[in-house]
Structure 1
Amino acid sequence: MILLDETICRNYSDSSRREWLETNGLGSFASGTVSSANTRRYHGLLAASLHPPGERFVLLSKLEETILIGNQRYELSSNQYRFVVHPQGHHFIKQFRLDPFPRWTFEVDRISLEKSVFMVHGENTTVIRYEILDPTPHQFAVLAVRPLVAFRDYHSLTSENGSIRRQLEAEEPGLLRIRPYEGLPELRIHHNGIGFTVNPDWYHRFEYLEELDRGLDYWEDLFSYGYLSYELSPKKRLAFLIATLKEKPSLSVSDLDQMESKERVRRQKIAVSIPQADAFAQQLTLSADSFIVRRSEGAMSVIAGYHWFTEWSRDTMISLPGLALVTGRLALTRQILSFFFNHCDQGMLPNHFPESNGPPEFNTADATLWLFHVVREYLDASEDLAFVKEEAFPKMEEIIYYHQQGTRFNIRMAETDGLLSAGADGVQLTWMDAKIGEWVVTPRYGKTVEINALWYNALRVMEQLCKRFKERQKEEQYQRIADRVQKSFNQMFWNADDRCLFDFINGDYKDRKLRPNQILAVSLPFSLLPLERARSVVRIVKEKLLTPFGLRSLAPEDPDYRKAYRGNLAERDSAYHQGTVWAWLMGPFVDAYLNAFGTSSEILKYLKSLLEPFKAHLKEAMLGSISEIFDAEPPHTPKGCGAQAWSVAEVLRAYQKIACCDLDPPKD
């Protein structure tokens, strides 16, 4: 449970920067801030995926809530307008809890009112519940709730227009049907109110300050058809509003209780699915579940981050061990691997599946190689040799063949040294993939350090599998190539002057920029380096790149180093991999440290301390989750997506790995 008291809740600066997130396993979400003011275009109570997990539309933006007690009217909502917050309902928030759903406790004129929000798993349905707590015999209030709708693509904003239908589609007992625009689905609002007052009108110029900070358009108009009224008293303690795209019969309080109980039980099972889990690990496990989605055709996949990312294979492959294997979801891992095997083409996984359901994009040199690591980890966890031999291994052989012979974007094994080379003008192929117009910000063409670490590991995985399958000839073949790669790598990538690795090699040019990519040469199961070189790499990464929230993407002394990730899109993208801290890299750093220095009690204590700042972070940005990136310099402000799959997955995986090492005899 995450708990925020009134000192945070009633401070608008604090409460409007703390966000909450609910998801439904389809790519849809509900999200907002503790203050209840929307600060992003992505905030809304129902941002529904119309073709899971893509084509997301913000349908129900927010609710304006007013409670009437006697002759007094109290506004519970908050909104940011130009130079003013109005109303200021955050002043009535006594407490906010994530338990496991977002819950607010309001204190108004001796009445305590609890509000909760949750999404129903597998449905485009959001449930908002209000309950008066411990009412005295004569307490009575009326709650007025005004739904505000947007009905637009979640990347865009809407303004007053003449195309909107100003009348409800239908009003029935306990149900409102809303369809503002032709071609978009009907929103059904179930409720137990005592009446609905028709009052159609536009509400103008809501300001989203996070969008302003990102250099984007930041104001929006929202439309309301009217407001619902509810009685709150000892006899009618509970009010609800259920926004859904699903055709449902009339809903009662009992139905609501069943929906909430079912979802609570589902999340409790997930939270306790990993051994020796403390509160931190359980919260990360719950967060991990939010990224798992079922596509419209039934396949399982991974959302890279909320709010604006969809499916990226690199993120999926890096995340899977933490999202699914650590949490014991072996069948899920197999399903996701099958989905990506089915989309493998010319020895490559797609880099990205567009939201528009167009053809996948293949501009990645590393995602496919991460797949070998996942298959190995899956086999170690499951001993599912049949799946690996019958489905995975043939595809993996095909991938190796294409990488040897050559595939898209000049990805090819060099005949001279066995190393993997990749690159095409104007195309970003590594995880450092920022591009502004035709400018690739970090053009790492040629032989890159992490791609070749992954290539080497892929070859060793194939060698191991061939040994298990008793294919001796193939085993020797992969062993010869891997040995050659290891020798060439040490000859070409070792930077003797700086006692670390070059970042990439292109012809005679060897890039000396100190980046975190070299940590993969030590962190992966098959290390390329002799022990002393491995330790030297870890030491220099620790000295120059390590922060409380991950590794910097570039060393501070570099002339291209950027201290902060801010400004418009071009300014932010130019800083994305030029110093900005990436949380997911904490996982490889922990692996590398263990590989290089062993598992003594002192080392495990040190590594545990590295993950401590993330415990506080769970209460600071997207509550209960881990941000995509952080500024390079203190206070390392969280930036980018508030909930990022590989950030959560790698911190959880590293945390559990350290815990497991603690149970085993130490190794120095």
Structure 2
Amino acid sequence: MLDWGPELAQDLAASESREWLCTNGIGGFASGTIASVLTRRYHGLLVAALAPPLGRTLLVAKVEETAEYLGEARALSANRWASRAVEPRGDRAIERWRLEGTSPVWIYAVGAARLEKRIWMEQGANTTYVRYALERARGPLTLTLAVLVNYRDYHGATRGDGWRMRVEPVPHGVRVLAFDGASPVLLLALGAEATPAHTWYEGFRLAREEERGLESQEDHLHAATFRATLEPGAPWALVLSAEAAPTLDGEEARRRRLAHEEELGARWGRVVASPAPPWIGRLVLAADQFLVRRPVGEDPDGASVIAGYHWFGDWGRDTMVSLAGLTLATGRPELARRILTTYARLVDRGMLPNRFPDAGPAPEYTSVDAALWYVEAVRAYVEATGDRESLARLWP
């Protein structure tokens, strides 16, 4: 487990340079910094894969959080603005930060109270959960959350400039429609007061984009405010989703996430010859974040490998080079077979797709050595499994 105390968490230079990532197995992700300062155009609580595993679209940028306890209000978020000012300074409220499995976890100090926040995504769905739990307190704590949304290609940048989204109340929250034909975005929570809003927050400064020489300012729309009262021992979750009917029970969703990660550990445990250090287990969980579903034709169970985060899609060469380590070494040979079968369906004149573009269905055949790596990946699969029956399908 990665675990940092206030010596890092309250050091802004350190906490905004360290990033976290959650994924959903279909190409979508959530990502940000420990400080909660947005430093990349790729940061957001919900970057949905609207055409899995691509079509990545920033839908929810972040949540501006304020906690009130025994009459004391404290901001929990932080922003770096175009003026270069940093306001508010919620990073100073961070007492600890850790990574549990694949979930980033913050502990905030609000007076004498301690508030835990953790984030994860639903496996196989464009849904993010932000769960809050009052860990130590003599009474209730009130949370006020301003949810900031967007709707753009994840490589882009947005200026509000009069853009009017449709924001309407629905049971347990708010529905946002960026424009006619857009995918609706649901902002939901049980046991909270939800109020629609429509105010552009202008001039977020993205430091990493500035370093890259790219557009480094962006606007996000405040679309909803949630107000919830937390009692000790009673966690509460905010649900951010592009799905039609996401689960609103955060504890049920968390159990599914934990079960998924426990299954990954169990599969790896069955192929490890001797006890391994704990950090290897973290690599097994990290490996899973690159494995995604890629439907091909009439096969909904196709699979592939994201070449890297944040801005890569799935690349044929990278998939074949990494296949043995991501799947065979982690006890997932059936996934290796699915990936190889997916690419076998796409062979064209002896070549494998090297890249699937973000826009358009046609893959790009721009690599000679991807096919050679495919041969090596098939060899590794057959050697590890003894599955010669699949060779007829995998050998074009």
Query: Normalized against structure 2, the TM-score is what?
Result: 0.94
Equivalent position of 1:295 in the other structure? 294
1:513-532 equivalent positions in 2, closer than 5 A = none
Alignment of 1:320-339 (within 5 A): 320-339=323-342
CA distance in 2 between partners of 1:96 and 1:296 (Å): 37
Q: Are the counterparts in 1 of residues 76 and 91 from structure 2 also a CA contact under 8 Å?
A: yes
Given that 1:333 and 1:378 are in contact with CA atoms closer than 8 Å, whether structure 2 keeps it comes out as yes
Match of 1:113 in 2: 115
Aligned residue number for residue 134 of structure 2:
132
Which residue of 1 is the match for residue 351 of structure 2?
348
Distance between the aligned counterparts of 1:170 and 1:250, measured in 2? 18
Mapped to 1, the partners of 2:51 and 2:276 lie a distance apart of 35
| 2:236 pairs with 1:239 | yes
Aligned partners of 1:193 and 1:229 also within 8 Å: no
Query: C-alpha separation between the residues in 2 aligned to 1:323 and 1:216?
Result: 33
CA shift at 1:83, angstroms? 2.1
Q: Who is 1:257 aligned against? A: 251
- Within 5 A, what are the aligned runs for 1:83-482? 83-100=84-101, 101-136=103-138, 139-165=139-165, 167-172=166-171, 174-234=172-232, 237-248=234-245, 251=248, 255-274=249-268, 275=272, 276-297=275-296, 298=300, 299-388=302-391, 390-393=392-395, 395=396
SS in 1 for 2:218: strand
Contact 2:354–2:363, Cα closer than 8 Å, also in 1: yes
Aligned to 1:10: 10
Letter in 2 for 1:132: L
Counterparts of 1:202 and 1:109 in 2: how far apart (Å)?
Answer: 31
Q: Deviations over 1:522-572 (max 9, x none)?
A: xxxxxxxxxxxxxxxxxxxxxxxxxxxxxxxxxxxxxxxxxxxxxxxxxxx
Tell me the matched-pair count.
Answer: 385
Partners of 2:234 and 2:202 in 1: CA distance:
33
Quote the offset at 1:257 in angstroms: 1.2
Give the equivalent residue in structure 2 for 1:620.
none
The one-letter amino acid of 1:56's match is: R
Q: Which residue of 1 aligns with 2:42?
A: 42
Distance 2:66 2:199 in 1: 17
* Structure 1 residue 45 displacement after superposition: 0.4
Summarize the alignment of residues 570-609 of structure 1 with structure 2, pairs less than 5 Å apart. Answer: none
Q: Does 127-136 or 292-301 show the bigger shift?
A: 292-301
Question: Which residue in 2 is equivalent to 1:586?
Answer: none
Q: Matches of 2:173 and 2:229 in 1, distance apart?
A: 17
Amino acid of the residue matched to residue 260 of structure 1?
R
Contact (CA 8 Å) 1:55, 1:153: kept in 2 or not? yes
Post-superposition offset of 1:296:
4.0
Helix, strand or coil: the match of 1:168?
Answer: strand
Q: Which residue of 2 aligns with 1:408?
A: none
* Distance in 1 of aligned mates of 2:335 and 2:90: 42
2:373 counterpart SS class: helix
Q: Secondary structure at the match of 2:389?
A: helix
Does the CA contact (< 8 Å) of 1:271 and 1:283 recur in 2? no
Distance in 1, matches of 2:193 and 2:106, equals 24
Q: Distance between the aligned counterparts of 2:197 and 2:292, measured in 1?
A: 38
The aligned amino acid for 1:155 is H
Residue 135 of structure 1 and its aligned partner are, at CA, apart by 2.5
Aligned counterparts of 1:51 and 1:334: Cα–Cα separation in 2: 23
Return closer, same or farther for 1:271/1:249 CA change in 2, 3 Å cut-off. closer
- 1:208-250 C-alpha deviation (Å, 9 max, x unpaired): 101011110011011112411111234x732210011222277
CA–CA distance in structure 2, aligned partners of residues 196 and 169 of structure 1: 11
CA shift digits 1:575-633 (9 cap, x unpaired): xxxxxxxxxxxxxxxxxxxxxxxxxxxxxxxxxxxxxxxxxxxxxxxxxxxxxxxxxxx
Distance 2:52 2:36 in 1: 27
SS of match in other structure, 2:390: helix
Cross-structure match for 1:480: none
Higher relative contact order (CA 8 A, sep 6+): 2
Structure 1 counterpart SS, 2:256: helix
Measured in 1, the distance between the counterparts of 2:196 and 2:186 equals 16
Give the distance between the partners of 2:50 and 2:239, measured in 1 at CA.
18
Indicate the structure with greater strand content.
Answer: 2
CA gap 1:329/1:85 in 2 versus in 1, 3 angstroms: same
Retained in 2: the 8 A contact 1:193–1:228? no
CA spacing shift, 1:365–1:249, aligned 2, 3 Å = closer
Distance between the aligned counterparts of 2:238 and 2:112, measured in 1? Answer: 24
Cα distance in 2, alignment partners of residues 51 and 296 from structure 1: 10
Which whole-Å CA distance do the structure 2 matches of 1:341 and 1:119 have between them? 30
1:661 paired residue number: none
Q: Is residue 67–residue 75 contact of structure 1 (8 Å, CA) maintained in 2?
A: yes
Distance 1:334 1:233 in 2: 48
How far 1:163 sits from its partner (Å)? 3.2
Structure 2 residue identity aligned to 1:7:
E
Cα deviations by residue, 1:362-420 (Å, 9 ceiling, x for unpaired): 111211101111111111100011112x2233x2xxxxxxxxxxxxxxxxxxxxxxxxx
One-letter amino acid of the structure 1 residue matched with residue 318 of structure 2: D
1:555-570 matches, cutoff 5 A: none
In structure 2, how many angstroms separate the alpha carbons of the residues matched to 1:249 and 1:148?
Answer: 19
Q: Distance in 2 between matches of 1:372 and 1:223?
A: 49
How far 1:268 moved relative to its partner? 1.8
Counterparts of 1:134 and 1:69 in 2: how far apart (Å)?
Answer: 11
Q: Distance in 1 between matches of 2:389 and 2:196?
A: 62
Deviation at 1:263, TM superposition (A): 1.0
TM superposition outliers: structure 1 runs of 4+ over 3 Å = none
One-letter amino acid matched to 1:176:
V
Q: CA deviation at 1:189?
A: 1.6
Query: How far, CA to CA, are the matches of 1:359 and 1:60 in structure 2?
Result: 29
What is the identity, as a one-letter code, of the residue corresponding to 1:200? H
CA distance in 1, matches of 2:246, 2:345: 39
Quick one: structure 1 residues 191 and 161, their matched pair in 2 at CA, closer, same or farther if it must change by over 3 Å? same
Structure showing greater radius of gyration is: 1
Q: Distance in 1 between matches of 2:224 and 2:246?
A: 23
Question: The residue matched to 2:167 in structure 1 has which SS?
Answer: coil
Q: Which has the higher helix share?
A: 1
CA distance in structure 2 between the aligned counterparts of 1:380 and 1:250, rounded to whole angstroms: 41
1:27 corresponds to 2:24: no
Please say if residues 291 and 304 of structure 1, whose CA atoms lie closer than 8 Å, have aligned partners that are also in contact. Answer: yes
Q: Secondary structure at the match of 1:385?
A: coil
